[in-house]
Amino acid sequence: MPNQASIRTVSLQDIIDGIRNIPDYPKKGILFKDMTTVLQDPVLYRATIDMMAERLAPLKPDIIAGVEARGFIFGAALADRLNVGFVPIRKKGKLPSETVSYTYELEYGVDCIEMHKDAVKVGQRVVIVDDLLATGGTAAAASKLINEVGGNVAGYHFMMELDFLNGRKLLQDAPVDALIHF
């Protein structure tokens, strides 16, 4: 049964204010935007999902693909809200069936993500969801996986975007949207 707190009106600024700033994490000079504080507040989390769903619904996805791990938190909730399927994109070695994989460069090394080969059908419209758009490398790698199995990337959607890192430049194949910009 809803309590009074669950029916309060939430603005985008309330969500922004709910994000905790952690200086010098993971290294000196970085101001980390910690969205776990939004997840801890059911009203802020619900409002975040509502706002994200409203913005990505016009893309008419067949599937939401969430990138491990925080993309699962938003992607699965958005898939439920939009009544579409959800596909997890995971780190190498975490999926039990036949996979496709893509290895890409990070700022300080390389990473590899995988998706089940049969997770997306040929021609399906897929929206890639994650918590944060920084440099764009992970989302671009997810796009490669979706294209490899014949899916169509209909868009990218993020809770937050660090505009100064210009991650959008790697995501030229579909519309890019973020709820919050820093």
Domain of residue 110, CATH code: 3.40.50.2020
Write out the residue range of the structural domain in which residue 119 sits. Answer: 4-181
Decide if 168 is catalytic. Answer: no
Residue 109 three-state SS: strand
Angle (nearest 5°) at CA 22 between 108 and 180 = 85
pTM: 0.93
Decide if 70 is catalytic. Answer: yes
CB 124 within 8 A of CB 153: no
How many structural domains comprise the chain? 1
Which are the contacts of 2, defined by CB distance < 8 A and separation ≥ 6?
none
Q: What's the confidence (pLDDT) of residue 7?
A: 54
pLDDT tens, per residue, the chain with 182 residues: 444 455 579 999 999 999 999 999 999 999 999 999 999 999 999 999 999 999 999 999 999 999 999 999 999 999 999 999 999 999 999 999 999 999 998 767 899 999 999 999 999 999 999 999 999 999 999 999 999 999 999 999 999 999 999 999 999 999 999 999 99
Check 54, 105, 107, 168 and give the catalytic one.
Answer: 107
Q: What's the confidence (pLDDT) of residue 108?
A: 73
* Alpha carbons 53 and 113: distance in angstroms, whole number: 25
Check 70, 90, 114, 161 and give the catalytic one.
Answer: 70
Q: What's the confidence (pLDDT) of residue 106?
A: 77
